[in-house]
Chains A and B, each alone.
Chain A
Amino acid sequence: MILLSPEWAALLYLVAAVCFILALQGLGKPASARRGNLIGAAGALVAVVTVFLSSKIDNLPWILATIVVGAAIAAPVSRRVKMTQMPQLVALFNGVGGGAAALVALLELSHSSSPWSALAVAFTVLVGAVSFSGSCITFAKLQELMPTRPIVFPGQPVVLGLVLAGALVSGGFVVATGSFVAVLVLLALGLATGVLLVLPVGGADVPIVISLLNAFTGLTVAASGLVLGNILLLVAGTLVGASGTILTRAMASAMGRSVTGIIFGAFKGGSTAGSTTVSDRPVRSSSAEDVAILLGYAQRVIVVPGYGLAVAQAQHTMAELAETLEAKGIEVVYGIHPVAGRMPGHMNVLLAEANVPYEKLLEMDEVNPQFKTADVALVVGANDVVNPAAKTTPGSPIYGMPILDVAAARQVVFLKRSMRPGFAGIENELLYEPQTTLLFGDAKDSLAKVLTAVKNI
């Protein structure tokens, strides 16, 4: 049904594009972030309605039914997902977006009239497939369906090189001949590339890879806009590609890493240092009462929250413990590592939910000089972000990542589930230091016990 002339459609697409720009801009500031997101959603709605009203759409019932099914799957999952699982959900959504772009381009190949358009098809299919399979691997890693440490097998760089070369050749075939078989080969090689690229990435680098794949998907959407001659897809995809690239770099630099270092770092032999198993060296483990005494007689406590706090949903207990200590005249602040948890800002969101005042959350640069005047550094479910190996062990997968300097505190208390190493799969020397005390158990249980004991002092 064509109700709108091409001019009106173009105008409405322009409105949608402006909405997307305002959305990205709004999302960059805390006060306007939520409104920004809503503006983006409004823009998307305008665009989808426009396409239905402005082009000749057959199979309408099928399409509408599919959209309803998709929305009925996605909306409840997104509504109910646990905070700790948001990063993998974002990765998954990114992957399916890349997959959709690859399929659209695949089907458009037969309509493509010029070599340029065929080139855009080849690009979209390849990069969309990389984004899809790469995102699936990051999802599996974050969901712990597969090992989270870097996975490298002998000859991996050679295999990756061959696959990429094959992709270039089949891409060339697609452009030259428009062959449907070649584009299917390209799709398969793209899928393989995504897997090979993401397997060697481990530990705290995964969120950065999600962001990079997000930028990739943006570019594929832009390229499919070229294929379809749709300006909105071109603009929206380019916006995401460009902003995603900047964002990836900003995330990487917040961790002191380079993007190429993350993607290719594991190939350079850093992986072997990552595969340490749990050693049986003695550690000092103690009771909740002992920890309560350490805290109760301290003057300054710095809490370092990590993924364990998020998994255990212990943020409310943590906040209550901090308030109880403050009521006793003890100064409590939180040291927030930019990538503590599984994504940047994870801890801020979590503690904000427990109504921890914003002023108490100190960023890494701010809190690091304060550890030497702290009596106790209380590490709740964090590991890699306080691991001195980042400074001392050049072969380690996390080497070069800035860490929270908890070792400078007079006492270090780790609340941990077990001696299992952190997400990066490497052991933490700090656990064996003389000033370190460990309290084993689920973060919420441990904190509740410590809280009761503190109240009884």
Chain B
Amino acid sequence: MDAITLLTIFVLAVFVGFEVVSKVSSTLHTPLMSGANAIHGIILVGAIIVAGQAEDVLVLVIALIAVLLATVNLVGGFVVTDRMLDMFSGRKKSSAAPKGEGK
């Protein structure tokens, strides 16, 4: 893929990233951080590709370490975020009416 296409994708993704999280209340900062943290665990895809191309043992071992770390990031990230949000769910029922936001 040529450099300009990659740059275009990068710049557009930056703006989407800015846009989707603007105006988030401070209560949700932690789950949002945790969810974003889980998403970068997708480096697992990269780790799998590298491990799948490994031809000598040393490279394979290092790549498998990367696979392990990335899996921990990805799986743990989503599970812990879900757990965090589970604790919020008790409140959802009682907060049908949104409270006056930031006066």
**Interface 1/0 per residue, A53-65 and B, CB below 8 Å:** 0011111101100
Given contacts A59-B52, A99-B69, A349-B84, contact A250 B39 (CB under 8 A): no
Question: Complex: how many Å from CA A218 to CA B54?
Answer: 25
| A402 CB, min distance to chain B CBs, angstroms | 12
Alpha-carbon separation in the docked complex, A77 to B75 (Å): 11
User: How far apart are A94's CB and chain B's nearest CB, in angstroms?
Assistant: 5
Q: Enumerate chain A residues within 8 angstroms of B52, measured Cβ to Cβ.
A: 55-60, 63
Given known contacts A51-B49, A234-B9, A242-B14, is B30 in contact with A87 (CB within 8 Å)? Answer: yes
9 closest residue pairs by CB, A with B: A242-B17, A70-B71, A57-B52, A74-B76, A97-B73, A238-B13, A78-B79, A352-B91, A103-B66
B37 contact set on A, CB distance < 8 A = 90, 93-94, 97, 214, 217, 240
Q: Are B80 and A89 in contact (CB under 8 A)?
A: yes
Residues of A within 8 A of B95 (CB): 30, 358-359
Instruction: Give the contacts of B72-96 with A (CB-CB under 8 A).
Output: 72-92, 94-95
Q: Which residues of B lie under 8 Å from residue A52 when comparing CB positions? A: 48
A251 touches B79 (CB 8 A): no
Q: For B13, what are the chain A residues with a Cβ–Cβ distance below 8 Å?
A: 222, 234-235, 238-239, 242
With an 8 A cutoff between CB atoms, is A176 at the interface?
no
CB distance from A369 to the nearest CB of B (A): 11
Residues of B within 8 A of A37 (CB): 31, 35, 38, 78, 81-82, 85
Q: Which of A104, A235, A343 contacts B43 (CB 8 A)?
A: A104
A-contact 0/1 string along B26-45, CB 8 Å cutoff: 11111111111111111111
Bitwise, A249-275 to B at CB < 8 A (1) or not (0) is 011001000000000000000000000
Q: How far is the CB of A244 from chain B (nearest CB, A)?
A: 6
Known: A44-B78, A63-B67, A77-B76. A243 touches B29 (CB 8 A): no
CA distance A416 to B31 in the complex (A): 28
Chain B interface residues (CB < 8 Å from chain A): 1, 3, 6, 9-10, 13-18, 20-54, 59-60, 62-92, 94-95, 99, 102-103
Q: Which of A17-25, A163-171, A198-206 lines the interface with chain B? A: A17-25
Complex Cα gap A29–B88 (Å): 12
- A106 interface residue per 8 A CB criterion: yes
Which chain B residues lie closer than 8 Å to A3 at the CB level?
Answer: none
Q: Mark A81-100, 1 if CB is under 8 A from B, else 0.
A: 10100110110011011011
Instruction: Determine whether A116 belongs to the interface, using a CB cutoff of 8 Å to chain B.
Output: yes
Cα–Cα, bound, A11→B94 (Å): 41
Interface residues of A (CB under 8 A from B): 16, 20-21, 23-25, 27-31, 33-34, 36-38, 40-41, 44, 47-48, 51-52, 55-60, 62-63, 66-67, 69-71, 73-75, 77-79, 81, 83, 86-87, 89-90, 93-94, 96-97, 99-101, 103-104, 106-108, 116, 207, 210-211, 214, 217-218, 220-222, 224-226, 228-247, 250-251, 254, 338, 343-346, 348-350, 352-353, 355, 357-359, 363, 365-366
Q: Interface of chain B, helix or strand or loop or mixed?
A: helix
A44–B74 CB distance below 8 A: yes
Give A401 Cβ to nearest chain B Cβ, in Å: 14
- Are A338 and B26 neighbours in the complex by a CB distance under 8 Å? yes
Q: Can you offer 15 A-B residue contacts whose CB atoms are under 8 A?
A: A24-B36, A37-B85, A41-B38, A48-B45, A58-B53, A59-B51, A70-B69, A99-B69, A100-B46, A103-B47, A103-B66, A231-B1, A246-B22, A345-B31, A355-B90
B75 x A74 contact (CB < 8 A): yes
Contact of A247 among B36, B39, B59 (CB under 8 A): B36
In the assembled complex, the Cα of A97 lies from the Cα of B33 at a distance in Å of 14
Q: In the complex the two chains form, is B88's CB within 8 Å of A247's CB? A: no
A62 cross-chain contacts in B, Cβ below 8 A: 51, 60, 64
B27 touches A38 (CB 8 A): no
Q: How far is the CA of A106 from the CA of B63 in the complex (A)?
A: 10
What's the least CB distance linking A7 to chain B, in Å?
A: 14
Q: Using Cβ atoms and an 8 Å threshold, which residues of chain B touch A357?
A: 94
A83's partner among B25, B41, B87 (CB-CB below 8 A) is: B87
Verify B81–A97 contact, CB threshold 8 A: no
Cα A246 to Cα B67 with chains together (Å): 29
CA distance A96 to B80 in the complex (A): 15
A214 engages B33 (CB within 8 Å): yes
Residue from the set B20, B37, B90 with the largest chain A CB neighbour count within 10 Å: B37
Q: Give A113 to B6 CA distance when docked, in angstroms.
A: 16
* Chain A hits for B103, CB < 8 A: 365-366
Say how far A157's CB is from chain B's closest CB, in angstroms: 28
Shortest Cβ gap from A31 to chain B (Å):
7
Report how far A63 CA is from B44 CA in the complex, Å: 11
Known: A66-B64, A251-B29, A358-B91. A97 touches B3 (CB 8 A): no
Q: Output the least CB separation between B41 and chain A (Å).
A: 5
B35 touches A74 (CB 8 A): no
Q: Are B73 and A345 in contact (CB under 8 A)?
A: no
Interface contact B36-A240, CB-CB below 8 Å: yes
CB-based nearest A residue for B17: A242
A238 and B14 within 8 A (CB): yes
Pair B43/A100 contact, Cβ less than 8 Å: yes
